[in-house]
Chain A
Amino acid sequence: MSTQARVAILGFGLTGRIAALMLAERYQISVFEQAKQGTESSAGSVAAAMLAPLAESVICDEALALQGLESMKLWPQLLAKLENPVFFQQQGSLIVAHGQDRGDLVSFQQRLKPLRDHSAEVVNGARIAQLEPELGGVFHQGLYLPCEGQLDNQAFYQSSAATLTKQGVEINYGVHCNEAQKAQLSQAYDWVIDCRGLGAKATCNGLRGVRGEVARIYAPEVTLTRPVRLMHPRYPIYIAPKPDHQFVIGATEIESQDNGEITVRSTLELLSAAYSVHRGFAEARVLSLLAGLRPAFKDNHPKIEQQGNVISINGLYRHGYLLAPLIVKQALSKELL
């Protein structure tokens, strides 16, 4: 009979998976996820999975961006725990703007907060062509942010589920935990890690959803070696190359709880942005058009709370992949790691 302490993880999105991976070797874990298997719509399954602390420093405070920088370092350790390799890349990101949006690029550059010894390199057309040969001649100025990276979130979702199952983690799909059930679980388990995101909205004061939409496409005629961010007046649009000529283009950012299908307007914005960067996207195949809700608090910062044996991690907003490893580690460090 196992003498390991028992941990219940509520929610099998990005934070729930990371928590499970960090704890699986030491604890007996049960996961409770409201979605049915294969129908996940959590923010982590929809995201472009960018690791962009320097670019994000434009909209968040320096402390959060520095946390992102620290957090990125934890990804290789986490991915090393997985059975199947997951695409992870840290070759920087390229920021470009069309002529009409040059003002936005200048403003973006002015607002970048240098993070320790990491800063942006101003690049001209020749340097852009050196970094991304297929963009040579298209853009004549931009920024190169060498410290940034990305990973393949779909592969991470698949591989983490397979690995955790193999490690004996019990994953219960299609089980929605409300507060009463959470209280029951806190009696039955030594620890409860609440990673429900917006599933905890009813009792999580100030938590809101911020809608995001992404397109995943297959574009055999396009080769990009790193994420390219295109200046857009309302939200950052990344074209993030994943393995096998797949690209994730996203994401929109709309203050809405609506998690219905992507709109035509957003689809047009995302796909025309991609096409304006590289004409090869014209013949790409659309693999999926997804919409999801990012859980966020009023200050857009993540929160860790502990009440008795229940630890809650929530509000990672648009910084899930960037911050989750560090935030989950911080949440678990005191009592469980």
Chain B
Amino acid sequence: MQSLTDTKLTIYGEQFTSRMLIGSALYPSPEVMQAAIATSGAEIVTVSLRRQQTKQAGDDFWTLIKEMGLRVLPNTAGCHSVKEAVTLAQMCREVFATDWIKLELIGDEYNLQPDPIALLEATEILLKDGFKVLPYCTDDLVLCQRLDALGCEVLMPWGAPIGTGKGLLNPYNLQTIRTRLPHQTLIVDAGLGLPSHACQALELGYDAVLLNSAVAGAGCPITMAKAFEASTVAGRLSYLAKAMPQKEVASPSTPTLGMPFWHAN
């Protein structure tokens, strides 16, 4: 019997078993946050730094994050300009002692849609400054190609706007990015609401998903974290197994040859 071997998720040379990255915001309490993240099996946790959370001021919360023993991926949530994002990335590097940065640069306040032009500019600055940039971007192929050309080793196109829970709004675009950038580590970031959305992203061949509200905002975050873990495993296995091709006409799974004539019609 043929057995399928999988590679690990690779982010700037580091390897991970879990294919879910999880956020640390909006949980009912830090205790629930820790339990949900632990249940999710995620090995990478994203954290957002605000200006009031300097090393000292935010220490209590960072301690809660550090207690989990996971790889921390700081993000620049809430930044609207290149300068703001670069400054915050530098603060993050100091506070979290990591050169990883999830670069989030908002172009539209209401949709929280990434600003693709500012994103390219900030990515270039941060890569030159030695950062390992994980850009949060829209599902635009050309933008992803440009980010790829700048030297990003991970791209994170959105499934839908942050916090909407609408799932993959444009699977065609996401599929195109996957097909055209086969060497890239691709992570669907934002917009997931259901485990089936995560499963779909993995089925498309995305390497991982990044989510926060879908778990933190669930009625029971801990149970939902478990559901997402199962769905990412299912989606990845499905991708590896290569799904059957879709057909336009029915093809019976039980041959009709030999069926008694009185069963016909």
Residues on A lying within 8 angstroms of B by beta carbon are 59-60, 100, 103, 107, 110-111, 208-209, 211, 233-234, 254-258, 260, 263, 298-301
Cβ 8 A contact of B28, one of A59, A110, A258: A59
Residues of A within 8 A of B164 (CB): 103
Instruction: Check A260 against B52 for contact (C-beta < 8 Å).
Output: yes
Instruction: Check A298 against B30 for contact (C-beta < 8 Å).
Output: yes
CB distance from A203 to the nearest CB of B (A): 15
Q: A111-B219, A254-B52, A256-B53 known; A300 and B30 CB under 8 Å?
A: yes
Q: Is B262 at the interface (CB under 8 A from chain A)?
A: no
Closest partner residue, chain B, to A262 (CB atom): B52
Q: A111-B219, A299-B31, A300-B28 known; A258 and B54 CB under 8 Å?
A: yes
Residues of B within 8 A of A208 (CB): 30, 60-61, 64
Chain B contact patch, size range = 20 to 34
Beyond contacts A255-B58, A299-B30, A299-B32: 15 other A-B pairs, Cβ-Cβ < 8 A, are: A103-B164, A208-B30, A211-B52, A233-B163, A254-B52, A255-B60, A256-B50, A257-B57, A257-B58, A257-B59, A258-B58, A260-B52, A263-B51, A263-B52, A300-B28
Chain A facing B: main interface SS: loop
CB distance from B27 to the nearest CB of A (A): 9
Across the A-B interface, the 8 shortest Cβ-Cβ residue pairs:
A208-B60, A258-B57, A300-B29, A255-B61, A258-B52, A299-B31, A256-B52, A257-B57
CB distance from B208 to the nearest CB of A (A): 25
Residues 33-66 (chain B) with a chain A CB within 8 angstroms:
34, 50-54, 56-61, 64
A60–B28 CA distance with the chains assembled, in angstroms: 7
A103–B163 CA distance with the chains assembled, in angstroms: 10
Chain B facing A: main interface SS: loop
Residues of B within 8 A of A298 (CB): 29-31, 34, 64
- A-B CB contact pairs (8 Å), 9 listed: A60-B28, A103-B164, A255-B58, A256-B61, A257-B58, A263-B52, A299-B29, A299-B30, A300-B28
Residues of B within 8 A of A255 (CB): 53, 58, 60-61
Residues of B within 8 A of A263 (CB): 51-52
Closest partner residue, chain A, to B54 (CB atom): A258
Residues of B within 8 A of A301 (CB): 29
Closest partner residue, chain A, to B32 (CB atom): A299
Residues of B within 8 A of A209 (CB): 60
Instruction: Check B29 against A256 for contact (C-beta < 8 Å).
Output: no
Residues 217-256 (chain B) with a chain A CB within 8 angstroms:
217, 219
Tally A-B pairs: CB < 8 A.
Answer: 55
CB distance from A5 to the nearest CB of B (A): 36
A258–B26 CA distance with the chains assembled, in angstroms: 19
Closest partner residue, chain A, to B217 (CB atom): A107
Residues of B within 8 A of A256 (CB): 50, 52-53, 57-58, 61
Residues of B within 8 A of A299 (CB): 29-32
Closest partner residue, chain A, to B163 (CB atom): A233
Closest partner residue, chain A, to B30 (CB atom): A298
A224–B214 CA distance with the chains assembled, in angstroms: 35
CB distance from A255 to the nearest CB of B (A): 4
Cβ 8 A contact of A100, one of B54, B110, B217: B110
Q: Which of A59, A111, A298 has the most chain B CB atoms closer than 10 A to its own CB? A: A298
Residues of A within 8 A of B52 (CB): 211, 254, 256, 258, 260, 263
Residues 80-126 (chain B) with a chain A CB within 8 angstroms:
110
Residues of A within 8 A of B57 (CB): 256-258
CB distance from A283 to the nearest CB of B (A): 25
A298–B27 CA distance with the chains assembled, in angstroms: 12
Closest partner residue, chain B, to A101 (CB atom): B110
Residues of A within 8 A of B56 (CB): 257
Residues of A within 8 A of B58 (CB): 255-258
Residues of B within 8 A of A103 (CB): 164
Q: Which of A111, A234, A256 has the most chain B CB atoms closer than 10 A to its own CB? A: A256
A59–B26 CA distance with the chains assembled, in angstroms: 10
Closest partner residue, chain A, to B63 (CB atom): A208
Residues 4-44 (chain B) with a chain A CB within 8 angstroms:
26, 28-32, 34
A127–B164 CA distance with the chains assembled, in angstroms: 29
Closest partner residue, chain A, to B111 (CB atom): A100
Residues of B within 8 A of A110 (CB): 219
CB distance from B126 to the nearest CB of A (A): 23
Residues of B within 8 A of A107 (CB): 217
A209–B50 CA distance with the chains assembled, in angstroms: 15
A260–B50 CA distance with the chains assembled, in angstroms: 14
Q: Which of B58, B60, B64 has the most chain A CB atoms closer than 10 A to its own CB? A: B60
CB distance from A73 to the nearest CB of B (A): 25
CB distance from A240 to the nearest CB of B (A): 23
